[in-house]
Amino acid sequence: MWKSRALATMMASMLVTACAAPMPTVRPGALAGSQTTTVTALARSETAAFLKEEGVPVSAAEQADLENTFARVVTFATAPDMSPAPATSPVRGALPDFVVNPVAQTNDTSLYLDDSEIFPELFRLIRGAKKRIQVSYFLLGGDIGMNLATAMVERSKAGVEIQIMLDPKLGLSGDVADGVARVVAYLKANNVNFKLYPLALFGAMPNSIQRKFQINHNKIAVFDGETAFVGSMNLDDLARINHDLMVRIEGPTAKEYSAMLDEEWAFGTLLARGGMATQAVSQVRITQTAPQQRNTKESLLKIIAGAQRSIHVAMYEFGDADMAAALCNAYKRGIDVRVILDPKGAALTKYGAGIMPDGMPNILPARELLKVGAQVRWFKPWRFNQELHMKAMVVDGRTLVAGSTNWTTNAFTRWRETSFIVDGGAALAFEDEFTRMWNGTTVRIDRLNLKQRLTARLCEYMNRRDIAFW
């Protein structure tokens, strides 16, 4: 989900040196004139270069609007993190030993879509646990998070061991953070074991932007070491309206997930729709972004390169140039490439993030795919403030890659993420869901307008300077 911040505070705050030159806010009067001039000059030069490349005449007012968009977004990205530091301490020394098994294993898998299927199944799994519940999650908050926490406390009182690993930023800020704080207080009051993921294991981040936005983005729950429930749905009220997925895995890969969470537990930091879920046999393996191993992008590129007929992608955040190039190359060799992207538009206001231009960063791969003629569509919500929160690709109708990992540099290298690769079973069910989405809940993109092309250029710039927050 979007990582919200106290935007008004950010816009009024002095910027840190995340690039070669300081990039101050453009809010009038907030900073010294020489600092404001730096980001203004950058916006003007980049916009002028862009317009020259495009060869499109614009009015002075239109050019000023483009310059302001560029300056506003770079300002947001480079503002210092004003939220309180979590109560964690740096972790140094050895890394976890766990690395994923590169060989796919036979498991039973079932696909669950959206809150109407996902949460009833999750409550069923919690209430049915006999010995142990392991959780590693980005968000556990709000009313739904409290209800899930209550169910886990009930199992704890019945003698079930509970281990919950949360993101150390605890919801970041605003209403989401307040909801997570309520759940954390409740868990502490009921003596439930929980820890914060030690992001310091990844080592030093290259700049303040990456430190600010680095997270444990996992969405994993394991029950009795035998059943894993994994995917991309957060356990928070704002997430419930999103179009999302989870997969239940039963078999050796569930045990592998359990072993992974066991290993990380020792490093954790203490705080003072119906009918889709049809069970089938599948081959499953895990990929991860972790301090000791980063193999998700490599696995994705290999699967894309091996596609024989089709590549269908449903993605929340897509900003990685290598992944876009791989899809373009697949299309050029005759593969049916179809991509559904979240529009990153009005729904972001629920996180207080209305400052961002529509489409960022997804407009960048959309531009590249449209250049070669591949089909790209925006997700069309059917619920208020709904987002396409999936991070999923199905290849040749039978291989599904999904989980918590967006297709961005940060997700592939710096944030704690876990994904899974399923052959058969849930992959077949998701191919049907993708077809339903493509035909009924998408808007075709034929070409990008001038503002969208500038936004794509801005994404390129932020990727180059390593100040992308996606």
Residues 57 and 137 in one domain: no
The whole-number pLDDT of residue 348 equals: 62
Clarify whether residues 141 and 185 are in a common domain: yes
Residue with tokens 């009930």: 154
Amino acid occupying residue 422: V
Q: Could you tell me if residue 7 is inside a domain? A: no
Inside any domain, residue 87:
no
Instruction: Catalogue the long-range contacts made by 23-32 (C-beta closer than 8 Å, 24 or more residues apart).
Output: 23/74, 23/75, 23/78, 24/75, 25/75, 25/79, 26/68, 26/71, 26/72, 26/75, 27/75
Report the C-alpha gap between 171 and 167 in whole angstroms: 8
188 and 140 in a common domain: yes
Same domain flag for 190 and 332: yes
Q: Please state, in angstroms and rounded to a whole number, the distance separating the CA atoms of residues 157 and 190.
A: 9
User: Within 13 Å and on the Cβ side, how many CA atoms surround 355?
Assistant: 22
Assigned domain for 297 exists? yes
Residues forming beta bridges with residue 379, ordered by sequence position: 442
Nearest to 439 by CA among 369, 361, 338: 338
- Nearest CA-CA partner of 44 in 26, 18, 22: 26
pTM here is 0.83
One domain, residues 184 and 113: yes
Is 90 part of any domain? no
115 in helix, strand or coil?
A: helix
Instruction: Tell me how many degrees the CA angle 418-424-429 measures, rounded to the nearest 5.
Output: 85
228, 307: one domain? yes
Residues 340/436, Cβ–Cβ less than 8 Å? no
Q: Which amino acid does the sequence have at 355? A: I
> pLDDT 10s per residue in the chain (470 long)?
333 333 222 222 322 222 333 333 333 333 334 546 678 888 888 888 888 887 878 888 888 888 888 888 777 766 665 444 444 444 445 788 899 999 999 999 999 999 999 999 999 999 999 999 999 999 999 999 999 999 999 999 999 999 999 999 998 777 888 899 999 999 999 999 889 999 989 988 887 778 888 999 999 999 999 999 999 999 999 999 999 999 999 999 999 999 999 999 999 887 654 444 556 678 999 999 999 999 999 999 999 999 999 999 999 999 999 999 999 999 999 999 999 999 987 656 666 655 566 789 999 999 999 999 999 999 999 888 899 999 999 999 999 999 999 999 999 999 999 999 999 888 989 998 999 999 999 999 999 998 899 889 889 888 988 888 88
- Position 227 scores a pLDDT of 98
Element (H, E) at 228: strand 227-231
Any domain includes 191: yes
Q: How many other C-beta atoms are found inside a 10 Å radius of the C-beta of residue 384?
A: 9
Burial of 208 (0-12, 13-18, 19+ CB in 10 A): middle
In this predicted structure, what is the pLDDT of residue 78?
Answer: 67
- Count of the separate structural domains present in the chain: 2
Exposed/middle/buried for residue 94 (C-beta within 10 Å: 0-12, 13-18, 19+): exposed
Residues 272 and 375 in one domain: yes
In a shared domain, residues 203 and 298: yes
Does 71 share its domain with 136?
A: no
Residue 470 located in a structural domain: no
Examine the domain organization and report whether 156 and 231 are in the same domain.
Answer: yes
- Determine the structural domain holding residue 433 and report its residue range: 105-464
Evaluate whether 373 touches 399 at the Cβ level (below 8 Å). no
What is the domain-level CATH number for residue 122? 3.30.870.10
Residue 435 lies in a domain: yes
**Do 36 and 179 fall within a single domain?**
no
How many C-beta atoms surround the C-beta of residue 311 within 10 A?
23
204 with 279, same domain? Answer: yes
| CA–CA gap between residue 83 and residue 80 (Å, rounded) | 9
Given this model, what pLDDT does residue 9 score?
Answer: 27
| pLDDT score for 252 | 97
**DSSP three-state, residue 318:** strand
* Residue 357 belongs to a domain: yes
